[in-house]
Structure 1
Amino acid sequence: MTFNILIIGQKGRLAHEAALFAATLRHNSPRWSGRLIVAEPEPGERWPDDPRIPEGPQRDLLTELGAEIVPFTNWHFGSYYPNGNKIEGLVALPEGPFAFFDTDTVIVDELAGLDIDFSRPAASMKREGTWPEIDLYGPGYKDIWGVLHARRGGDLAETLDTAWPDEHWRRYLYFNGGWFFGDDPAAFHKAFRDAALMIRDDPPEEVVCQTLDPWLDQAALPLAIHELGGGRPGDKGGIADGIFDGSHSFHYRHMPLMYATAPDHVIVGVDAAAAPNAVKKVLKDYEPFKRFLYQPKGQKARELFDRTDLPRKEQAIRNRLRREGLWIAR
Structure 2
Amino acid sequence: MTETRFNIMIVGQAGRLQYEAVLFAASLRRYAPDFTGRLYVAVPQPSGLWTKDPSIRNKPVLEALEALGADILPFQSVAFGESYPYGNKIEALLALPEGEPFVFFDTDTLITGPLDQLPLDFGRPSASLRREGTWPKPTLYGPDMTGIWRALYDRFGLDFNSSLDHSQPENFWRRYLYFNAGYYYGSCPRVFGQRFLEYAVSIRDDLPKALIGQSLDPWLDQIALPLVIHSLGGGRATLPEGYLDGEMSCHYRNLPLLYARESDDVVAALETVASPNKIKKVLKQYEPMKRMIYQGRGAKVRAMFDRDNLPRKEQALRNRIKSAGFWMR
Aligned ranges for residues 196-215 of structure 1 at < 5 Å? Answer: 196-215=200-219
Secondary structure of the residue that 2:194 maps to in structure 1? helix
Secondary structure of the residue that 1:79 maps to in structure 2? helix
Shift of 1:319: 2.3
Secondary structure of the residue that 2:184 maps to in structure 1? strand
* Correspondence 1:194 to 2:237: no
Name the residue aligned to 2:123.
Answer: 119
Q: 2:174 aligns with which of 170, 173, 178?
A: 170
Question: In structure 2, what is the Cα distance between the partners aligned to 1:184 and 1:318?
Answer: 37
Shift of 1:55: 4.0
Aligned residue identity for 1:107 = I
Question: In structure 1, what is the Cα distance between the partners aligned to 2:275 and 2:196?
Answer: 38
Q: Is the 8 A contact 1:28 1:273 kept in 2?
A: no
Question: In structure 1, what is the Cα distance between the partners aligned to 2:268 and 2:213?
Answer: 45
Aligned-residue CA RMSD (Å):
1.2
* Correspondence 1:86 to 2:86: no
Name the residue aligned to 2:318.
Answer: 318
Q: Is the 8 A contact 2:45 2:55 kept in 1?
A: yes
* Correspondence 1:47 to 2:50: yes
Q: 2:68 aligns with which of 51, 65, 69?
A: 65
Secondary structure of the residue that 2:40 maps to in structure 1? strand
Shift of 1:14: 0.8
Name the residue aligned to 1:132.
Answer: 136
Q: Is the 8 A contact 2:139 2:213 kept in 1?
A: no
Shift of 1:242: 2.8
Q: Is the 8 A contact 1:37 1:92 kept in 2?
A: no
Gaps spanning 5+ residues in structure 1: where? none
Name the residue aligned to 1:29.
Answer: 32
Name the residue aligned to 1:181.
Answer: 185
Secondary structure of the residue that 1:86 maps to in structure 2? helix
Question: TM-score, with normalisation over the residues of structure 2?
Answer: 0.96
Question: In structure 1, what is the Cα distance between the partners aligned to 2:242 and 2:142?
Answer: 34
Secondary structure of the residue that 1:135 maps to in structure 2? coil
* Correspondence 1:147 to 2:151: yes
Name the residue aligned to 1:5.
Answer: 8
Aligned ranges for residues 243-254 of structure 1 at < 5 Å? Answer: 243-254=243-254
Question: In structure 2, what is the Cα distance between the partners aligned to 1:187 and 1:67?
Answer: 23
Deviations 1:76-132 (A, max 9, x none): 110010000000000121131100011111111111121110111111112222212
Shift of 1:203: 2.2
Aligned residue identity for 1:113 = Q
Q: Is the 8 A contact 1:72 1:89 kept in 2?
A: yes
Question: In structure 2, what is the Cα distance between the partners aligned to 1:320 and 1:309?
Answer: 14
Question: In structure 1, what is the Cα distance between the partners aligned to 2:42 and 2:255?
Answer: 23
Question: In structure 2, what is the Cα distance between the partners aligned to 1:106 and 1:92?
Answer: 23
Name the residue aligned to 1:242.
Answer: 242
Q: Is the 8 A contact 1:149 1:155 kept in 2?
A: yes
Name the residue aligned to 1:299.
Answer: 299
Length, aligned pairs only:
325
* Correspondence 1:227 to 2:237: no
- Percent identity between the aligned chains? 53
Question: In structure 2, what is the Cα distance between the partners aligned to 1:294 and 1:116?
Answer: 36
Name the residue aligned to 1:280.
Answer: 280
Q: Is the 8 A contact 2:95 2:190 kept in 1?
A: no
Secondary structure of the residue that 2:213 maps to in structure 1? coil
Question: In structure 1, what is the Cα distance between the partners aligned to 2:162 and 2:265?
Answer: 36
* Correspondence 1:308 to 2:308: yes
Aligned residue identity for 2:265 = H
Question: In structure 1, what is the Cα distance between the partners aligned to 2:131 and 2:58?
Answer: 35
Secondary structure of the residue that 2:80 maps to in structure 1? coil
Deviations 1:137-171 (A, max 9, x none): 22011111112112222111111112210011111
Aligned residue identity for 1:52 = S
Secondary structure of the residue that 1:109 maps to in structure 2? coil
Q: Is the 8 A contact 1:125 1:232 kept in 2?
A: yes
* Correspondence 1:256 to 2:260: no
Aligned residue identity for 2:6 = F
Aligned residue identity for 1:64 = A
Question: In structure 1, what is the Cα distance between the partners aligned to 2:58 and 2:318?
Answer: 35
Q: Is the 8 A contact 2:77 2:88 kept in 1?
A: yes
